[in-house]
Amino acid sequence: MELVAHIAQVQGFTAIALGLIIGFGALGACIGIGIMGSKFLEAAARQPELVPLLQGRMFLLAGLIDAAFLIGVALAMYFAVANPLLSKLAAG
């Protein structure tokens, strides 16, 4: 019975951590993409002839900004389906 309580505790903390990882990651990535998108639209409005040049770079940066968030999501998903922190409990 004590083991169940321990497992529940680990899983509860893990669930909170997953929320924090995905939530804060999404927050940062969205603010970043938002700032970059607004700047891109401003630049495109000022100098429409530069749009093809800027578009490629914008997508490149969008991928770079998204990457850290998606690494976080991958980590969080890994913890959600196969929690390695529980292995100690299973062994002991």
Partner 1 sequence: MASEPHGGLTEYIQHHLTHLNFRVSPNGFWSFHLDSVSVSLALGVIFCLWFWLYARRATAGVPGKGQAFLEIVLEFVDGQVKDVFHGDRRFLGPLALTVFIWVFLMNAMDLLPVDLLPWITEKFGVGHFRAVPTADVNMTFAMSITVLLLVIFYSFKAKGFGGYMHELFTAPFGKWFAPFNFALNLVELVSKPVSLAMRLFGNMYAGELVFMLIAGLFSAGSWLLFGMGIIGYAVWGIFHILIISIQAFIFMVLTIVYISMAHDHH
12 is a site residue for partner 1 (CB under 8 A)? no
Q: Which of these, 89, 91, 92, lies nearest to 6 by C-alpha position? A: 89
Does residue 66 carry a catalytic annotation?
A: yes
Q: Which stretch binds partner 1 (CB under 8 A): 4-12, 13-21, 31-39, 70-78?
A: 70-78
Catalytically annotated residue among 10, 66, 75, 86:
66
Query: Pick from 16, 77, 85, 89: which binds partner 1 (CB under 8 A)?
Result: 77
70 is a site residue for partner 1 (CB under 8 A)? yes
Mapping DSSP onto H, E and C, the string for the chain reads CHHHHHHHHHHHHHHHHHHHHHHHHHHHHHHHHHHHHHHHHHHHHHCHHHHHHHHHHHHHHHHHHHHHHHHHHHHHHHHHHCCHHHHHHHHC
74 is a site residue for partner 1 (CB under 8 A)? yes
Residues in contact with partner 1 by CB under 8 A are 59-60, 62-64, 66-67, 70-75, 77-78, 81-82
